[in-house]
């Protein structure tokens, strides 16, 4: 054995890492972010859950003069983090509404006397006028905004109290700010920076979770399918997400009758009951928790072997976060989703009930991308990573599509039809309009714009709506075309479409699966 202590711990940063946290090496990106923020730069840190975000501000907090203020939305997480920092000998504390008055006064005293290196605060407390005044007389090292996606309506967890954090940069322009999140789509990233008023150094680490196997099955007989899946899991630990409390109770009851060691968890239960379920799951006394999305935020259990989505999640981010709770220990894990195309219509209907406006458009877009993922004919991991703007060139070999590939055919000509139609439409129309033109529709929106005069009008009338929908979605997944949400979901061309249009390469597409064509669905624009 070599003596890693000599070769690794020879610079000051690594020394502190080892001394305080007991780690030998930095993880991907940590060192870079730490160096940047210590140099006074604002940073945006995008790392998947479990990637090691906390260290990115905890270590610099110890190296920099003054106090680091950490904004965090979850009271329970604050407490956990502070407890573990105190255990490692770091002077840390937290302030939030759960703290008794006397304790709160003590923390403020420590703060005044410069006895703290890190202070965790809830956003509403931070932005109260008395606290802002207090901060103005403190030597501030930096602000760390944890779960920064909460500031964006694009994030899966928008919190109004985060919106006001934009003031911080104006009030304290010289204090470096670090925003951290595990949500990485382009729109969220952009809106975090805009709302916080920063033009930061960006660290985007890989979102790939190679040990998770993604499977999406068409929901046919959900009860049997679930039972079959669980039987294959041999009593390991897992979470089953359902879309409603009623469904949670129903599935949990059924599983218990079938002899599984399962418990329900949702916001309709008392705090004690929920705490008890969470606790026994952490201690491996329960195999399966059937839950709404209320379960899991901040659950630090490394040996969750599977996550089932009994109903379609609200968004890709939600799906990624929820499936990401499996296999944190790096061992093989399963993400299994039951998908009923009709659910899309149902959720769409719910969204339609809400007040029209930008938020509604965001919800529609999220649902559409989630639907596209479920219906994908290409490697699931590629679709996921592509969504997070990370390109995975090779199919992964560890998802249902890779393991049981759909039939493929030479789709070059049909792809050309679609791509040239996008071009003829000036890259300004959505999927439905595009398909109507391809199929030679005489509907008012087509005729009024003279699109029935285009050379591409009707060139696809021999195929069904669903067929073209599937082709277009594949072209998007393959990165040949994009859906521009900022412009009414219009379909645009990417440079990689050129060789296809010119006939320089052959494009193999996947045959649409039969189930796509059984129900007539409308794609919202």
Minimal distance in Å, beta carbon 402 to Zn ion? 3
Helix axes 358-374, 380-387, angle to 10 degrees: 160
213 near Zn ion, rule: CB under 5 A: no
212 near Zn ion, rule: CB under 5 A: no
27 near ligand ADP, rule: CB under 6 A: yes
Surface-to-core class of residue 224, CB atoms within 10 Å of its CB (0-12 exposed, 13-18 middle, 19+ buried): exposed
Which pair of structure tokens corresponds to residue 83? 């407890």
418 near Zn ion, rule: CB under 5 A: no
Residue 402 touches which of Zn ion, ligand ADP, none (CB < 5 to 8 A by kind)?
A: Zn ion
26 near ligand ADP, rule: CB under 6 A: yes
Stretch that binds ligand ADP, among 46-54, 252-260, 282-290, 419-427 (CB under 6 A): 46-54
- Measured at the CA of 152, the angle between CA 151 and CA 153, to 5 degrees, comes to 130
SS3 for 198-257, per residue?
CCCEEEECCCCCCCEEEEEEECCCHHHHHHHHHHHCCCCCEEEECCCHHHHHHHHHHHHH
Classify 181 as helix, strand or coil: strand
Cα distance between the two ends of the chain? 61
Question: Which of 72/490 has CB closer to ligand ADP?
Answer: 72
439 near ligand ADP, rule: CB under 6 A: no
User: Binding Zn ion by CB under 5 A: which of 125, 274, 381, 451?
Assistant: 381
Which pair of structure tokens corresponds to residue 219? 């929901």
Stretch that binds Zn ion, among 21-29, 226-234, 374-382, 483-491 (CB under 5 A): 374-382
Minimal distance in Å, beta carbon 21 to ligand ADP? 7
Cβ burial 173-191 (10 Å sphere, 16+ → b, else e): eebbbbbbbbbbbebbbeb
Which residues inside 383-412 make contact with Zn ion, applying CB under 5 A?
A: 395-396, 399, 402
Minimal distance in Å, beta carbon 256 to ligand ADP? 32
Alpha-carbon gap, residue 158 to 143, rounded angstroms:
20
User: Binding ligand ADP by CB under 6 A: which of 41, 52, 159, 423?
Assistant: 52
User: Binding ligand ADP by CB under 6 A: which of 53, 274, 381, 477?
Assistant: 53
365 near Zn ion, rule: CB under 5 A: no
Question: Which of 49/237 has CB closer to ligand ADP?
Answer: 49
* 361, 355 Cβ separation under 8 angstroms: no
470 near ligand ADP, rule: CB under 6 A: no
Residue 374 touches which of Zn ion, ligand ADP, none (CB < 5 to 8 A by kind)?
A: none
Residues of this chain that interact with ligand ADP (CB under 6 A) are 23, 25-27, 30, 47, 49-55
């Amino acid at each position: 054995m070599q003596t890693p202590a000599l070769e690794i711990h020879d610079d000051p940063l690594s020394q502190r890492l080892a001394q305080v946290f007991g780690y030998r090496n930095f993880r991907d990106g940590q060192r870079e972010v730490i160096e940047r923020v210590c140099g006074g730069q604002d940073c945006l840190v995008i790392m998947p859950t479990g990637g090691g975000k906390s260290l990115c501000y905890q270590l610099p907090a110890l190296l920099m003069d003054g106090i680091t203020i950490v904004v965090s939305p979850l009271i329970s997480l604050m407490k956990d983090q502070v407890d573990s920092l105190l255990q490692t000998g770091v002077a840390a504390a937290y302030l939030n509404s759960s703290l008794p008055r006397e304790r709160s006064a003590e923390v403020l005293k420590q703060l005044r006397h410069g006895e703290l290196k890190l202070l965790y605060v809830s956003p509403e407390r931070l932005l109260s006028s008395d606290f802002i005044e207090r901060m103005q007389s403190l030597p501030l090292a930096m602000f760390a905004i944890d779960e920064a996606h909460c500031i964006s309506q694009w994030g899966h967890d928008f919190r109004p109290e985060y919106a006001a954090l934009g003031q911080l940069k104006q009030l304290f322009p010289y204090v470096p700010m670090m925003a951290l999140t595990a949500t990485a789509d382009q729109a969220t990233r952009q809106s975090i920076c805009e709302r916080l008023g920063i033009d930061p150094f960006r660290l985007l680490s890989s979102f790939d979770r190679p040990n998770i196997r993604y499977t999406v099955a068409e929901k046919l007989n959900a009860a049997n399918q679930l039972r079959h899946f669980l039987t294959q899991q041999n009593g390991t630990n897992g979470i089953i997400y359902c879309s409603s409390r009623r469904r949670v109770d129903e599935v949990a009851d059924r599983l218990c009758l079938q002899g599984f060691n399962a418990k329900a968890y949702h916001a309709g239960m008392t705090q004690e009951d929920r705490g008890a379920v969470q606790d026994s799951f952490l201690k491996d006394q329960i195999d399966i928790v059937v839950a709404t999305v209320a379960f899991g935020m901040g659950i630090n259990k490394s040996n969750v072997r599977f996550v089932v989505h009994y109903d379609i999640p609200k968004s890709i981010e939600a799906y990624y976060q929820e499936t990401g709770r499996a296999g944190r220990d790096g061992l093989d894990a399963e993400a299994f989703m039951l998908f009923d195309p009709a659910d899309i219509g149902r959720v769409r209907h719910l969204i339609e009930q809400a007040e029209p406006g930008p938020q509604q458009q965001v919800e529609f877009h999220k649902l559409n991308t989630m639907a596209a993922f479920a219906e994908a004919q290409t490697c699931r991991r590629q679709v996921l990573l592509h969504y997070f703007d990370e390109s995975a060139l090779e199919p992964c070999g560890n998802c249902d599509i890779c393991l049981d590939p759909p039939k493929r055919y030479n789709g070059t000509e049909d792809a050309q039809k679609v791509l040239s139609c996008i071009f003829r439409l000036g890259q300004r129309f959505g999927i439905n309009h595009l398909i109507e033109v391809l199929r030679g529709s005489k509907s008012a929106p087509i005729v009024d714009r003279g699109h029935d005069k285009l050379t591409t009008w009707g060139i696809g009338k021999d195929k069904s709506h669903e067929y073209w929908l599937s082709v277009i979605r594949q072209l998007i997944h393959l990165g040949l075309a994009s859906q521009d949400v900022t412009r009414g979901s219009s379909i645009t061309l990417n440079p990689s479409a050129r060789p296809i249009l010119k006939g320089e390469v052959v494009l193999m597409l996947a045959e649409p699966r039969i189930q796509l064509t059984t129900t007539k669905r409308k794609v919202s624009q």
